[in-house]
Amino acid sequence: MDGSTGAQADGHDIGDRRNLLNVATQETRFEIIQNIVGHPEQLPSLKELDYFIPDTRKSTIRNHLDKLEDAGIVTPVKLPEEERSRDLPRVFYGLTRNGRDVLEEAGLLRAERSLQETTVQTKLTDEVVQYMNAPRPDWDPARPLEADQDK
């Protein structure tokens, strides 16, 4: 026995799970998560998040990404050096495996396909289209939109 008194639910300590959900469901952070999940590759860049969350300053988005990262919900995913291009993003943001698991267990990812489809149908500026079409690193916890279309 490890001395902890927290009950386990699906492999997660209930207190830890509650803390993660408190961090994730704060309004701005949850909007960021929805935009990560709604991205066709589930790996948006900061520029894309800034475009899809127009009422929030980029610096505020960055601060909330830091809090989500500190909580282990989101992580920056860097494009390998050899795949980088000067005018395209190099860092993308994706859910961690643990973040995805906790959000799924809480029923907070049920709309992910609808969010992705909405993102694809959104009118974008040329610059955002360029960023959306930029190469992305492979990221296992992500569930790209194309993966479901093959079924």
Domain boundaries, the chain: 10-141
- How far is 2 from 123, CA to CA, in rounded Å? 53
Tell me the pLDDT band of 116, cut-offs 50, 70 and 90.
Answer: very high
Helix, coil or strand: residue 75: strand
The CA distance from 113 to 149, in Å, is: 10
Element (DSSP H or E) covering residue 76: strand 74-78
The number of angstroms, rounded, from the C-alpha of 76 to the middle of its chain's C-alpha atoms is 9
> Distance (Å, rounded) from C-alpha 118 to C-alpha 116?
5
The pLDDT of residue 142 is 81
The answer, as to whether pTM is greater than 0.95, is no
Say if residues 55 and 64 touch (Cβ distance below 8 Å).
no
Q: What is the pLDDT of residues 130-141, one digit of tens each?
A: 999 999 999 988
Q: What would the pLDDT profile of 11-47 be if each residue is shown by its tens digit?
A: 457 778 889 999 999 999 999 999 999 999 999 999 9
Q: Indicate the pairing of strand 12-13 with strand 74-78.
A: unpaired
Inter-CA distances, 6 with 16, 99, 104, Å: 9, 19, 21
Cα(144)–Cα(127) distance, rounded to whole angstroms?
21
What's the pLDDT tens digit per position in 52-90? 999 999 999 999 999 999 999 999 999 999 999 888 999
What pLDDT score does 13 carry? 74
Q: What is the pLDDT of residue 145?
A: 76
Architecture of domain 10-141: Orthogonal Bundle (1.10)
- DSSP 3-state of 9: strand
